[in-house]
Structure 1
């Protein structure tokens, strides 16, 4: 982190020192200045100047729901039609996984067919894992789902899995089609880019507010929010994958006389499939993450169990449900990764029977039918017997109680140290920045890094935040994000450098980072709250853990991508190991380090909104309050404020990375 700071300041130190100095003076003495001049506007944006956008947005949403019509049908009819299209397949999948198929409603319902047995579901998933890779993956995936059954989390996990099974195809197909459109039309790509930026930077809670208003409380709203949240990465990956198809393959397709449709679906898309599967993996993990969060608006499942446990401060139940989420996430993540790297099987010998050509498919179907029939007479085959379930709830509660009793003073000392010497000083600094100077400072910083256009955009976005009456909340968000990103970089960059230079360290650190990236964001809150209770420090710990992965990965990638000739030249020149690191490797890895910093900031901002559940007082809390009150305007405005911060940070750091590449002569 020190290296990054020195690199950023290099060549423009007077400018940055002067900008920081003026900001510090105004932050420290703005309140006395306000008292002396009796000018409150120095501290707080004048109420008379604020834009009442939240009221306008709420009024528009109310008009859409109650009065808007398109001739033959109203807007409410449209949302109901969309709901029915999503709800029908969701109910079919949910019935197949857990509820069973029935006719009628309430007490008049009559079961037609049972759901798949727990044995059949585990068999299907293990067979998919074996088909995708090998027995090791099959054992891992099967073991994860056996864990869900043994520890009494099966029903909730199947509800969550049903949501993922519906959300992922919608996100993948929608993202692929939009990615193809962006590939075919540069104009469409330029128009989509700001929309995708907003979709990826607006906090997840902000999605829930208007969707809850439009679609009501229930699993359909959760699925709509999940698809919107998970689709953007698939759009971007699809565009990049299609653009990365070698021109030789495209030329071969033209020479064979392919039409435009054949070229796309029989040449380009199959050639880009390995990269497209990376996008599918992202959609799966984001869908799982969002389904957990969407439990707040009726999704149910494991996310609802975690949320309920947090609200009741049920330590054991929260950790048990959180571990079930981890097991489900690991199984789905490893399964999708295996499909992304899977090679095509050799064609079976002609003349073989269907059973010999597809032995695994036939075996799975037979197990499904056999367990279904046996389950009619032996309930333990159909549903895992409740009497055989285990629980670790008491163990985790006792363990947390023991840790709190024996290490309370230690944890409090750590918490007090960070609050006293890091969090509170930084919070006082940002909280005291006057809105007018803050806008100027942000614009000047962006102008210095990326030119006047970037400076104007950053200043306008900062002005929009101030004009919405959210300047104070935005400063708290920037303070929490800044501290968390600083700590994540201080921890992550050295780990990444170590992993990039040592293969054994790379395997250990890589496994640790893979685990961190697999965990849904909700899970980080459970142990942090149990150990440190609510507040800024707990939020910071959760954000650092969640945002650590890109700092490590990009640092390791940057070190590994350095040309061996550069290292050899340094050794020939007589450089020591430290000189090789500080004078050759780190300068050449700077673009990757900055990209890692960019992604760390994005993850920190996305996690900060979720940490509103543990008592932060920033923009995330504004979004969460809007969700609880179903205040559409407030939620959207607060969400856009977070998006403006994220977009500004993204553009500034990306401009630094481009400038660094140009200085080093890299592509």
Structure 2
């Protein structure tokens, strides 16, 4: 065959698209380093290209507050009206639990005392016994007893009054929106997108516009808490109603029920268990956010913890208040979980429950009436209280004396060999290279359109002029996620192999998830002082729980038939784990990593109180300066990072499950 014929018989040379994309990404990363004089713009984002997004957001909020009118009233009038309603609503639980009611201003004015501490502890103990037996009753008694004896009752009751109103509003509003989205399928997509966005926005970002529109005070904290805690209830309501068997809906229609009767007499009761799980989530998110809302005047235990972080010698009192937060959170969490597991009963058991509920109310009212004659039942005398503030201060001093060298050595090692090099690398990384890297990874997962959307989310950071703070956030989040995953995966593996270890890890994870995020800062500051190391340790402790849970759950879900097939093929235990179990459980494990990223981003904002200079710090500064534009732009940047990680990991998990036939 001639040379010409041989060339004509060969197929055309085709270069795989993946190779082209990889080459383009490599060029985008390497060229700014190779030719900095020519391509300096690709390494350092030019200042003239920065878009004043924060100024636009600030101008938009000013327009909302000053110029937007609905005819008879303005937008600002509406926000003031809503805040006034919540202010009056908050006065009710606050009077019951915290301040009481006083008629008149003169010294001899008639005073109705608040609910007695003895009545509250007795009622909580009895109701805990009804919900979960003797163990939960002891927990309720000890938890509220600690708050009383150690002088945290007044602050705890302020927090509890806010939690009650926020939970009632969040649960009611969440169920209403969930029902609306369930009834109107066209609305569901928009609701889900809004929920995804709201659940990726950092907690502090809720505070910025509310301070600007409503002002500083307990109502702003309340509204921020409701907005933060409501999305899980909406999502759970939608999912719970969809899970109700269609046969029940058809049966209700056949019996002549109108849609309203079908909803409230059939669908809602059938979805009771799932809805109660949503209530538990709302309670825990509310308690977490109420602590953060202390920044804008919510008061209560959150203010005590926040004030301790701001004082050089206030760590002892902060730990005391932090333990009160933990006690309140654990008791409310366990009681709400027991309510989820409580089964409907009839006959003698139902009468017993009604008797216990009535006994709790009777003791609550009885002790409160007695407090008219015995003031000590309204407020425990100071001489009967115990303060551990000095003890914790002594503990801090002991740690600084005996553990300082070890902690400082670890801190120095992490800074010199891990944190500083990683931060220098990330801040100096070419912005064009990072966008190309995101684009290439997203293209391999979902094609051109998906890659364009994900790259646009990442491009927001340099375009908004947030490159240094944004990369500081990325570097801290990345290291924290890696460390949390490296800790969580082995622990999850051990939990999947041992029932005793599984139960112990479950109790540890429940406790870690119950603690409000601010509480993590107190012990790490005591050990490592302020700085990136303290933030890193706090983030790892807060975010590693999903890695443990999902790894444990994923390995336990591996079908026994697959394990037996691996054993029959001659695999050792290690080979079966590496070749069979981990590949099968990897989608579940990656979902855990996704949750680790979300929790790390959330905690990064809180950790700005210990000296980090990331996007969370900008939000904190924006709150103190009442600059909503800067706060919202930083909050959007963090939200976009969360959405980017969530969507890319979600695509990978979906593709992996498809390949495995799941």
TM-score, reference length from structure 1: 0.93
Find the aligned partners of 2:527 and 2:203 in 1 and give their Cα distance: 26
* Corresponding residue of 1:524: 520
The worse-fitting range, judged by mean Cα deviation, of 321-330 and 84-93 is 84-93
Measured at CA, do residues 349 and 494 of structure 1 come closer, stay the same or move farther in structure 2, by a change above 3 Å? closer
2:468 is aligned with 1:472? yes
* Corresponding residue of 1:214: 213
2:589 aligned residue (583, 586, 593): 593
2:428 is aligned with 1:432? yes
Query: Does the 8 A contact of 1:319 with 1:526 survive in 2?
Result: yes
The worse-fitting range, judged by mean Cα deviation, of 204-213 and 452-461 is 452-461
Deviation digits for residues 29-74 of structure 1 (CA, Å, limit 9, x no counterpart) = 64x844x34x653333223322222222212222322333211122
Measured at CA, do residues 409 and 22 of structure 1 come closer, stay the same or move farther in structure 2, by a change above 3 Å? farther
The worse-fitting range, judged by mean Cα deviation, of 414-423 and 319-328 is 414-423
Find the aligned partners of 2:432 and 2:69 in 1 and give their Cα distance: 43
* Offset, 1:180: 1.5
* Offset, 1:135: 2.3
* Corresponding residue of 1:646: 642
Q: Give the number of equivalent residue pairs.
A: 646
* Offset, 1:133: 2.3
Deviation digits for residues 214-248 of structure 1 (CA, Å, limit 9, x no counterpart) = 11111000000000000111111111111111223
* Offset, 1:349: 9.9
* Offset, 1:445: 1.0
* Offset, 1:75: 2.0
* Corresponding residue of 1:66: 66
* Offset, 1:20: 8.2
Deviation digits for residues 374-394 of structure 1 (CA, Å, limit 9, x no counterpart) = 222222222222111112112
Measured at CA, do residues 428 and 369 of structure 1 come closer, stay the same or move farther in structure 2, by a change above 3 Å? closer
- Match of 1:451, SS state, is helix
- Match of 2:346, SS state, is coil
Query: Does the 8 A contact of 1:400 with 1:530 survive in 2?
Result: yes
* Corresponding residue of 1:544: 540
Query: Does the 8 A contact of 2:554 with 2:585 survive in 1?
Result: yes
* Offset, 1:366: 3.0
Query: Does the 8 A contact of 2:535 with 2:604 survive in 1?
Result: yes
Measured at CA, do residues 567 and 644 of structure 1 come closer, stay the same or move farther in structure 2, by a change above 3 Å? same
Query: Does the 8 A contact of 2:25 with 2:436 survive in 1?
Result: no
1:581-660 matches, within 5 Å, as 581-660=577-656
1:92-107 matches, within 5 Å, as 92-104=92-104
2:233 is aligned with 1:234? yes
Find the aligned partners of 1:559 and 1:286 in 2 and give their Cα distance: 29
* Corresponding residue of 2:291: 292
* Corresponding residue of 2:185: 186
Measured at CA, do residues 14 and 565 of structure 1 come closer, stay the same or move farther in structure 2, by a change above 3 Å? farther
Query: Does the 8 A contact of 2:198 with 2:231 survive in 1?
Result: yes
- Match of 1:136, SS state, is helix
Query: Does the 8 A contact of 1:203 with 1:639 survive in 2?
Result: yes
Find the aligned partners of 1:339 and 1:365 in 2 and give their Cα distance: 18
Unaligned regions of 5+ residues in structure 2, if any?
A: 1-15
- Match of 1:265, SS state, is helix
Query: Does the 8 A contact of 2:127 with 2:356 survive in 1?
Result: no
* Offset, 1:17: 8.1
2:398 is aligned with 1:402? yes
* Corresponding residue of 2:276: 277
- Match of 2:102, SS state, is strand
1:254-403 matches, within 5 Å, as 254-313=253-312, 314-347=314-347, 358-403=354-399
Deviation digits for residues 370-428 of structure 1 (CA, Å, limit 9, x no counterpart) = 32232222222222221111121122111121122112111112112222222222222
Deviation digits for residues 81-101 of structure 1 (CA, Å, limit 9, x no counterpart) = 111221112111011112001
Query: Does the 8 A contact of 2:130 with 2:353 survive in 1?
Result: no
* Offset, 1:621: 0.9
2:411 is aligned with 1:415? yes
- Match of 2:345, SS state, is coil
CA RMSD of aligned residues (A): 2.2
* Corresponding residue of 1:494: 490
* Offset, 1:25: 4.2
* Corresponding residue of 1:147: 146
Find the aligned partners of 2:375 and 2:658 in 1 and give their Cα distance: 68
Measured at CA, do residues 22 and 496 of structure 1 come closer, stay the same or move farther in structure 2, by a change above 3 Å? farther
Find the aligned partners of 2:342 and 2:223 in 1 and give their Cα distance: 30
Measured at CA, do residues 579 and 95 of structure 1 come closer, stay the same or move farther in structure 2, by a change above 3 Å? same
Query: Does the 8 A contact of 2:158 with 2:300 survive in 1?
Result: yes
Query: Does the 8 A contact of 2:399 with 2:526 survive in 1?
Result: no
Measured at CA, do residues 583 and 154 of structure 1 come closer, stay the same or move farther in structure 2, by a change above 3 Å? same
Query: Does the 8 A contact of 1:206 with 1:627 survive in 2?
Result: no
Measured at CA, do residues 619 and 442 of structure 1 come closer, stay the same or move farther in structure 2, by a change above 3 Å? same
Query: Does the 8 A contact of 1:103 with 1:109 survive in 2?
Result: no
2:247 is aligned with 1:248? yes
Measured at CA, do residues 122 and 13 of structure 1 come closer, stay the same or move farther in structure 2, by a change above 3 Å? farther
* Corresponding residue of 1:4: none
* Corresponding residue of 2:454: 458
* Corresponding residue of 1:137: 136
* Offset, 1:306: 0.4
Query: Does the 8 A contact of 2:233 with 2:282 survive in 1?
Result: yes
Measured at CA, do residues 657 and 364 of structure 1 come closer, stay the same or move farther in structure 2, by a change above 3 Å? same
Query: Does the 8 A contact of 2:28 with 2:436 survive in 1?
Result: no
Find the aligned partners of 1:460 and 1:329 in 2 and give their Cα distance: 39
Find the aligned partners of 1:556 and 1:91 in 2 and give their Cα distance: 45
* Offset, 1:297: 0.5
Find the aligned partners of 2:353 and 2:577 in 1 and give their Cα distance: 55
Query: Does the 8 A contact of 1:454 with 1:651 survive in 2?
Result: no
Find the aligned partners of 1:389 and 1:18 in 2 and give their Cα distance: 70
Query: Does the 8 A contact of 1:100 with 1:111 survive in 2?
Result: no
* Offset, 1:256: 2.0
Measured at CA, do residues 444 and 392 of structure 1 come closer, stay the same or move farther in structure 2, by a change above 3 Å? same
Find the aligned partners of 2:454 and 2:609 in 1 and give their Cα distance: 29
Measured at CA, do residues 349 and 630 of structure 1 come closer, stay the same or move farther in structure 2, by a change above 3 Å? closer
The worse-fitting range, judged by mean Cα deviation, of 424-433 and 112-121 is 424-433
2:504 is aligned with 1:504? no
* Corresponding residue of 1:159: 158
Measured at CA, do residues 19 and 594 of structure 1 come closer, stay the same or move farther in structure 2, by a change above 3 Å? farther
TM-score, reference length from structure 2: 0.93
Query: Does the 8 A contact of 1:198 with 1:643 survive in 2?
Result: yes
Query: Does the 8 A contact of 1:102 with 1:109 survive in 2?
Result: no
Query: Does the 8 A contact of 2:28 with 2:433 survive in 1?
Result: yes
Find the aligned partners of 2:152 and 2:349 in 1 and give their Cα distance: 43
Query: Does the 8 A contact of 2:563 with 2:580 survive in 1?
Result: yes
